[in-house]
């Protein structure tokens, strides 16, 4: 989704492969420090942004001539005015549509508007657009609002956004689509749905999660010549399979199953046996040495479906397992409660999902040996809040979960977030085809297999997320609608062997 130009900040192995993400205030601070170091006005960056936009638009829509450029009252609008001036110089036909008159602007935005007017350009006010008989645009540029959106959009701005979304033309968003909160990824009422977004200086963390994934479209980044100073810590890190697959080296030729861990998965209660089966199959396909399933006594043996999955007979030594998974299809009955009470205090690595998390919400505790993988509903129960509050700021939610419960937390959803208490990683791989039963069970199995093979919990969670998302993207080649969790299994095996 993101085309990248530039080097990641190198601190440790996975960070050297990840891409930094930023909050809006960090971007503003970078701009100010850059201007101070270089002894240049910030207007230089506005000029660079306008030039970058012009080149970008001409490259991606070379046949377009009739550009409608919607400009706002701040610096985002200033970028639009400079773009219009450069486009006019190229012989194109930009129409500037403003939500505020140029003589009411301030600072660099006013300067950019005045230079556009001095070059012979004109401005149409947004409220006049409906009455003007105009040819349809070939390209629409959204330069209304930048990174400072913190409150719901006004009624007038909401109408302009609706106009942009209703035009039958591609939309290029300047820096980020108008209406998007750059830090949380939430739409502040209305949201421009861009075809492409060209963002500047650095990628804002909210662009890749929550509503950002619907508004941004294809995302590209231009740093405008601004480099990050040493010692500046990103707000989060973007990860994906192409970046992290280097963490999956080939096995030693002397490898045997005893070196790659023994995983015990507990769940698969009545009516939910498929959940534990999927988790077990994913665990095997991700490379665990041996896998057992612990289910209620009357559950049919999983070996009837997958011969390599062993059962868990009464009296089996619990010390057999090096990693445990609690939750897929666990249920809420007395058997499930007994399993939770038995396994929750284990000192070995533990993955909690599904009903394992629901039991934890009823008996909260803090441990550092586990990986928790809640979806927003489970996260809300764990935090004692609403789903809307979780989704309103997913970064804050994953941080709260990690502080309260410890270990590593993977908050699933559009733009899954992983927090280990020191860093937040964002995986934006995956697709809407994953909105079907069993997908989370696969993720639990993958993470458990990686833990069993020796990866630390944080790395196992990050690798698990990108393998899971990449497998779904590969499986979706045959269509997102109707995609099943089991469709991902062949791809999981392929992805844990990146040298093939």
State yes or no: 386 annotated in a binding site: no
Give the residue among 157, 199, 170 at the shortest CA–CA distance from 68.
170
State yes or no: 464 annotated in a binding site: no
CB 425 within 8 Å of CB 237: yes
Cα separation, 49 vs 172, whole angstroms: 13
State yes or no: 441 annotated in a binding site: yes
State yes or no: 487 annotated in a binding site: no
Task: Calculate the CA dihedral of residues 446, 452, 458, 463 and round it to 10 degrees.
Answer: -40
State yes or no: 75 annotated in a binding site: yes
Q: Which conformational region is residue 78 in: left (phi greater than 0), alpha (psi within -120 to 50 degrees), or beta?
A: alpha
CB 379 within 8 Å of CB 396: no
State yes or no: 175 annotated in a binding site: yes
State yes or no: 414 annotated in a binding site: yes
Give CA separation, 288 vs 206, 262, 450, 460, in Å: 35, 7, 7, 13
State yes or no: 147 annotated in a binding site: yes
State yes or no: 444 annotated in a binding site: no
State yes or no: 78 annotated in a binding site: yes
Q: Is residue 324 helix, strand or coil? A: strand
State yes or no: 416 annotated in a binding site: yes
State yes or no: 44 annotated in a binding site: no
State yes or no: 79 annotated in a binding site: yes
Give the CB-side neighbour count of residue 407, counting CA atoms within 13 A: 24
State yes or no: 138 annotated in a binding site: no
State yes or no: 166 annotated in a binding site: no
Write out 40-52 in H/E/C secondary structure: CCCHHHHHHHHHH
Cα separation, 288 vs 464, whole angstroms: 13
State yes or no: 275 annotated in a binding site: yes
State yes or no: 486 annotated in a binding site: no
State yes or no: 432 annotated in a binding site: no
Beta strand spans in 118-209 (E)? 124-125, 139-143, 171-174, 196-200, 203-204
State yes or no: 178 annotated in a binding site: yes
CB 146 within 8 Å of CB 175: yes
Provide the annotated binding site for (6S)-NADPHX: 75-79, 146-152, 175, 275, 329, 375, 441
Which residue ranges are tagged as binding site? Answer: 75-79, 142, 146-152, 175, 178, 275, 329, 375, 412-416, 440-441
Binding residues for K(+): 76, 142, 178
What residue numbers does the annotated binding site for AMP cover? 412-416, 440
């Amino acid at each position: 989704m993101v085309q990248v130009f530039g080097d990641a900040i190198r601190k440790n192995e996975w960070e050297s492969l990840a891409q930094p993400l930023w909050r809006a205030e960090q971007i503003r601070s970078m701009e100010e420090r850059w201007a101070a170091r270089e002894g240049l006005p910030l207007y230089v960056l506005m000029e660079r942004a306008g030039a970058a936009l012009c080149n970008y638009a001409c490259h991606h829509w070379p046949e377009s001539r009739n550009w409608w450029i919607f400009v706002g009252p701040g610096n985002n609008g200033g970028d639009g005015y400079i773009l219009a001036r450069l486009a006019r110089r190229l012989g194109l036909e930009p129409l500037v549509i403003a939500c505020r008159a140029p003589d009411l602007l301030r600072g660099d935005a006013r300067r950019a508007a005045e230079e556009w007017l001095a070059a012979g350009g004109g401005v149409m006010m947004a409220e006049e657009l409906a009455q003007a008989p105009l040819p349809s645009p070939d390209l629409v540029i959204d330069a209304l609002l930048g990174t400072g959106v913190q409150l719901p959009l006004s009624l007038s701005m909401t109408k302009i956004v609706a106009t942009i979304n209703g035009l039958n033309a591609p939309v290029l968003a300047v820096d980020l689509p108008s209406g998007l909160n750059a830090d949380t990824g939430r739409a502040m009422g209305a949201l421009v749905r861009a075809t492409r977004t060209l963002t500047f200086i650095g990628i804002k963390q909210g662009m890749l999660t929550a509503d950002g994934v619907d508004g941004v479209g294809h995302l590209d980044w231009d740093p405008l010549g601004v480099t990050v100073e040493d010692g500046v810590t990103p707000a989060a890190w973007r990860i994906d399979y192409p970046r992290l697959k280097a963490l999956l080296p080939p096995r030693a030729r002397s490898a045997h199953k005893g070196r790659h861990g023994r995983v015990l998965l507990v769940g698969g209660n009545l009516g939910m046996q498929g959940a534990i089966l999927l988790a077990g199959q994913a665990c095997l396909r991700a490379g665990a040495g041996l896998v057992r399933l612990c289910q209620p006594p009357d559950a049919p043996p999983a070996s009837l479906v997958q011969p390599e999955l062993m059962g868990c007979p009464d009296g089996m030594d619990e010390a057999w397992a090096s990693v445990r998974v609690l939750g897929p299809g666990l249920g809420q009955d007395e058997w499930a409660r007994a399993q939770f009470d038995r396994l929750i205090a284990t000192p070995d690595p533990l993955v909690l999902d599904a009903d394992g998390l629901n039991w934890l919400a009823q008996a909260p505790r803090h441990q550092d040996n586990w990986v928790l993988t809640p979806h927003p509903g489970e996260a809300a129960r764990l935090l004692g809040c609403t789903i809307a509050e979780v989704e309103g700021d997913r970064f804050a939610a994953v941080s709260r979960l990690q502080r309260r419960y410890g270990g590593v937390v993977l908050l699933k959803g559009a733009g899954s977030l992983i927090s280990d208490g020191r860093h937040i990683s964002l995986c934006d791989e995956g697709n809407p085809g994953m909105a079907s039963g069993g997908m989370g069970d696969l993720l639990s199995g993958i993470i458990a297999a990686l833990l069993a093979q020796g990866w630390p919990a944080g790395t196992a969670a990050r690798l698990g997320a990108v393998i899971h998302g990449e497998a779904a993207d590969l499986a979706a080649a045959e269509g997102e609608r109707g995609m099943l969790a089991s469709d991902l299994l062949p791809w999981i095996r392929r992805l844990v062997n990146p040298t093939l």
